[in-house]
Amino acid sequence: MKRVLTAVLFFAALVAAWQIVYRARIWSPVLLPGPGQVARYLWDTTFAASRPGPGGAAVPNADRWQLFLAIGVTMKRLLAGYLIGLALGLPLGLLTARFRPVRDTLGILALGLQGLPSVCWVPLALLWFHQSEGAMLFVVVMGTVWSVILATETGVRNVDPIYVRAARTMGSRWLHIWVKVIMPASLPFIVGGMKQGWAFAWRSLMAAEIFVTILTGFGLGQLLHYGRELNAMDQVIGIMVVIVLIGLLTDKILFSPWEAYLHRRWGTAR
């Protein structure tokens, strides 16, 4: 309870400071809108049924639900790219850890490409896939798969060999050792890798959505992009707040239960 209170106070202070700076008119309100304007934007693009029209009369809100639709589009792309990245990265990571030739080839490739900022894939994706969902998916997968490969490899290679020896004396062999010993033993690393992969997928998708402008779905990145085009700073900041919130929420929903399990079972740090 005390921790919640601390957090609430901190963020309230942050918003208050923002409001003070806004009121001081140091920068033009076009460049720095106040918290009220950003909140207004968020309300107008979500639940507001009507908004004040010319002459003060309320008109139906054409932007209603716009933000939720954008979140939906973005999450669908993110999930698709992330799952493909995991489905490729986990087995390739196992192979990389297990076979030296794979480590000397794919392992080095993964290490190199992981260091490539995912936005660097955008020009290539645009030329190969044009302005399409495919281009977006490609960028997300490229942003995810290498870090998942590397995390899985690290996890498997960090499994204490004594576990495998103990399992062998109890009659465990090849596939059984992999499924019942090496995989669970590397779970803390793999969860860490999945978390990192998620973060990379998220960053890649934002890069892709900002640069790949298509009509098959309007995601958060595209809203951000058009916010800039229209000089609508309240939209830009509003979308950024939403992106941060989604990052925080997915961490809590997707990964906290895993980490709690690992903490309880293994005694690892939370």
What residues make contact with other proteins under the rule CB under 8 A? 160, 162-163, 165-172, 176, 180-181, 184-185, 187, 264-267
Q: According to the 3-state scheme, what is the secondary structure of 39-51? A: HHHHHHCCCCCEE
- Cβ atoms of residues 254 and 197 within 8 Å: no
Phi, psi of 34 (to 5 degrees): -85, 170
* CB 13, min distance to other proteins, A: 39
Tokens of 250: 């997915």
Residue 192 Cβ, how far from other proteins at the closest point, in Å? 15
Taking the CA atoms of residue 239, residue 244, residue 246 and residue 249 in that order, the dihedral angle to the nearest 10 degrees is -150
29 — phi, psi (to 5°)?
Answer: -60, -15
Q: Report helix, strand or coil for 137.
A: helix
Q: Which is nearer to other proteins, 252 or 265 (CB)?
A: 265
Task: Considering the complex, state which of residue 185 and residue 206 has its C-beta at the smaller distance from other proteins.
Answer: 185
Q: How far is the CB of 158 from other proteins (least distance, A)?
A: 13
In DSSP terms, which residues pair with 59 in a beta bridge?
A: 51
The structure tokens listed for 230 are 């229209």
190 vs 207, beta carbon nearer other proteins: 190
Nearest distance in Å: CB 163, other proteins: 6
Q: How far is the CB of 251 from other proteins (least distance, A)?
A: 23
Q: Which helix (H) or strand (E) holds 51?
A: strand 50-52
The most distant pair of C-alpha atoms in the chain lies apart, rounded to whole Å, by: 84
Which of 65, 266 has the CB closer to other proteins?
266
Q: Any residues with CB less than 8 A from the CB of 215 and at least 6 apart, and which?
A: none
Q: Nearest approach, Cβ of 266 to other proteins (angstroms)?
A: 5
130 or 265: CB nearest other proteins: 265
Closest C-alpha to 138, from 196, 88, 94: 88
* Cβ-based nearer residue to other proteins, 184 or 247: 184
